[in-house]
Amino acid sequence: MKKHSILTMSCLIAAACQAGLALAADKPHWRYSGPHGPEHWSTLDPEFKVCATGKNQSPINLTAAVEGELAPLALHYRPAGASVVNDGHSVQVNYQPGSYITLDGEPFELKQFHFHTPSENLIQGESFPLEGHFVHADKNGSLAVIAVMFKEGKANQALASIWPHIPTKAGETATLQQPVDASQILPQAQDYYRFSGSLTTPPCSEGVRWLVMKSPQTLSEKQISDLMKIIKHSNNRPVQPLNGRVVVAS
Quote the distance between the C-alpha of residue 48 and its chain's center: 18
Of the candidates 102, 76, 73, 85, the one whose C-alpha atom is nearest the C-alpha of residue 181 is: 76
Contact present, 196 and 207 (Cβ < 8 Å)? yes
* Nearest-angstrom CA–CA distance, 105 and 81: 27
29, 40, 76, 89: the catalytic one is 89
Q: For the purposes of burial, counting CB atoms within 10 Å of the CB of 222, is it exposed (0-12), middle (13-18) or buried (19 or more)?
A: exposed
Q: Is 40 one of the annotated active-site residues of the chain?
A: no
Active site residues: 89
